[in-house]
């Protein structure tokens, strides 16, 4: 009888383990869906377009050795401009705006003819990509971009002193009368913010623990008991005051 109970117990445990593994495997095989305009989901504001080599050659679009236009759409073909207008496109920029350091390599991989067509938020970018792909004698590739991809435009914050934050975004600006900096010697913060800026359905909250901080307009009203800002009152261990 005891042996029977032991075998029954082990059988139940085996069944439960098998069911758990089967569920885990099923979940792992289930495609994860992401909402549009959230990290991992399709962006409704842009489509990546690569022109055919011969179509690009016939156009007046800037070549790999030149800095790209802020808006390349006026230089595109009439048919592409008409299609873009029908989707209320706001512009088309080269995916890499600066002049390529190695133009021949960029041309080899088609980077000089890869553009981002920008459209209003909420656009069905999958349908737009299909419409662009239909111009097969002119468009080599058209695909929606995924939030977290490489086609998002850098996000520059509305901070009047952001230009001195060379570690965030270095464009070679001189600081405090000194020599010019080295362009792109930075952490690519605007490019990272284009991927995720901490807001949305899954917000990212960052807490900075420090020995003290001065109030700043970006942090809201942090003065007095009626503080509505983002600086949390704490204890100043340096001079033993609160806050």
What is the residue extent of each domain of the chain? 42-146, 157-202, 207-243
3-state secondary structure of 143: strand
State the pLDDT at residue 18. 46
Tell me the whole-structure pTM to 2 decimals. 0.59
> Are 77 and 138 within 8 A, CB to CB?
yes
Residue 201's alpha-carbon distances to 26, 145, 197, 204, in angstroms, are 26, 19, 12, 10
Percentage of the chain lying above the pLDDT 70 cut: 67
pLDDT of residue 97: 80
pLDDT above 90 (res 214): no
Whole-number Å distance between alpha carbons of 167 and 173: 11
Q: How far is Cα 106 from Cα 104, in angstroms, rounded to an integer?
A: 5
Q: Which of 26-35, 150-159, 194-203, 233-242 has the lowest mean pLDDT?
A: 26-35
User: Could you please report the per-residue DSSP string of 24-41?
Assistant: HHHHHHSPPP--TTSTTS
The pLDDT assigned to 213 comes to 67
Q: Could you identify the residue written with the tokens 């033993």?
A: 240
Exposure of 62 by Cβ count < 10 A (0-12 exposed, 13-18 middle, 19+ buried)? Answer: middle
Can you give the pLDDT at residue 7?
45
pLDDT single digits (tens) 138-195: 999 999 988 766 666 677 887 888 888 888 888 888 877 788 888 888 888 887 877 7
d(CA 20, CA 115): 47
**Average pLDDT value for residue range 216-232:** 66
Instruction: Out of 108-112, 144-148, 232-236, give the one with best mean pLDDT.
Output: 108-112
Pairwise CA distance, residues 31 & 54, whole Å: 38
């Amino acid at each position: 009888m005891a042996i029977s109970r032991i075998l029954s117990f082990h059988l139940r445990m085996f069944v439960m383990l098998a069911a758990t593994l089967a569920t885990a495997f099923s979940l792992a095989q289930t495609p994860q869906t992401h909402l549009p305009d959230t990290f991992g989901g399709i962006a409704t504001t842009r489509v990546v377009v690569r022109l055919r080599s011969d179509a690009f050659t016939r156009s007046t679009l800037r070549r790999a050795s030149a800095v790209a236009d802020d808006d390349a759409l006026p230089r595109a073909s009439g048919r592409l401009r008409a299609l873009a207008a029908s989707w209320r496109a706001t512009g088309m920029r080269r995916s890499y705006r600066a002049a390529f350091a190695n133009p021949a390599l960029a041309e080899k991989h088609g980077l000089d003819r890869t553009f981002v067509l920008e459209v209003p938020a909420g656009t069905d970018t999958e349908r737009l990509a299909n419409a662009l792909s239909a111009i097969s004698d002119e468009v080599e590739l058209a695909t929606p971009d995924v939030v977290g991809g490489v086609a998002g435009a850098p996000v520059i914050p509305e901070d009047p002193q952001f230009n001195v934050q060379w570690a965030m975004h270095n464009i070679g600006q001189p600081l405090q009368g000194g020599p010019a900096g080295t362009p792109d010697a930075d952490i690519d913060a605007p490019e990272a913010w284009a991927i995720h800026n901490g807001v949305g359905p899954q917000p990212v909250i960052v807490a900075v623990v420090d020995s003290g901080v001065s109030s700043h307009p970006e942090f809201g009203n942090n003065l007095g008991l009626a503080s509505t800002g983002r600086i949390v009152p704490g204890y100043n261990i340096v001079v033993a005051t609160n806050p």
